[in-house]
A = this chain, B = another copy of it.
Amino acid sequence: MGKRVVITGVPGVGKTTVVNGALEVLGKEGISYQSINFGSFMFEVASSQKIVSDRDGMRKLPGPVQKDIQREAAQAIAKIEGNVIIDTHCTVKTPKGFLAGLPEWVLRELKPDMVILVETDEDQILSRRLTDTTRTRDMDSGKEIALHQEYNRAMAAAYGMMTGCTVKIVKNQDFLLERAVEDMAEALR
């Protein structure tokens, strides 16, 4: 039976870089993980059922339909053999407030073994967002980024209560990427 690991981090924290580095390290040790983006997986579920035809259609679905798709996606992921990384957000920042990435009905199906929060100081995230010209990012202040990370921790605690998963914080600090990669590899090992 493989491990199911949810990996999260606010935009700009460098989650993908850390995960890819860790998977490279683990690959040399013969440990492999299948990576699944939860949002893309939900879209596949919805499009295979002809519920939507494009990604944009997902947002426009009524709440109860979205909920069903989330649940079915979680069920399908839980059936995958071997180690799985689920790439998602701990909470999504929306105009109406923070939204749980893994609400109760997802957690009950997904039953993750671990939730990893990739974090770093808000000023580092701010400067990474400002210098990343390849994506349009929210123009949050440092305070707002700090709040988002604080809220993610509180949310992860609720996930831990509901599922019994561990919650691991991996720091991805400036100039210390190697350490972040090793911490991530150790968590996934």
Q: How far is the CB of A93 from chain B (nearest CB, A)?
A: 10
A166 with B94: in contact, given A103-B161, A157-B154, A161-B103 (CB under 8 Å)?
Answer: yes
Judge whether A147 is part of the interface by a CB distance below 8 angstroms: yes
- Chain B residues near A103 (CB-CB < 8 A): 160-164
Judge whether A51 is part of the interface by a CB distance below 8 angstroms: no
- Chain B residues near A98 (CB-CB < 8 A): 157, 160, 166-168
Q: Is the CB of B162 within 8 A of A104?
A: yes
A116 to B168, CA, bound (A): 24
Judge whether A114 is part of the interface by a CB distance below 8 angstroms: yes
Q: How far is the CB of A165 from chain B (nearest CB, A)?
A: 8
A114 to B97, CA, bound (A): 8
Total copies of the chain: 3
A92 to B105, CA, bound (A): 25
Q: Is the CB of A114 within 8 A of B96?
A: yes
Q: Which of A160, A162, A168, A169 has the most CB of B within 10 A?
A: A160
A187 to B167, CA, bound (A): 30
- Which chain A residues in 94-119 approach chain B with CB under 8 Å? 94-100, 102-105, 107, 113-116
Name 14 interchain pairs, CB-CB below 8 A, sorted by A: A67-B164, A96-B168, A97-B114, A97-B166, A97-B167, A97-B168, A100-B157, A100-B161, A103-B162, A107-B161, A147-B169, A155-B161, A158-B161, A161-B162
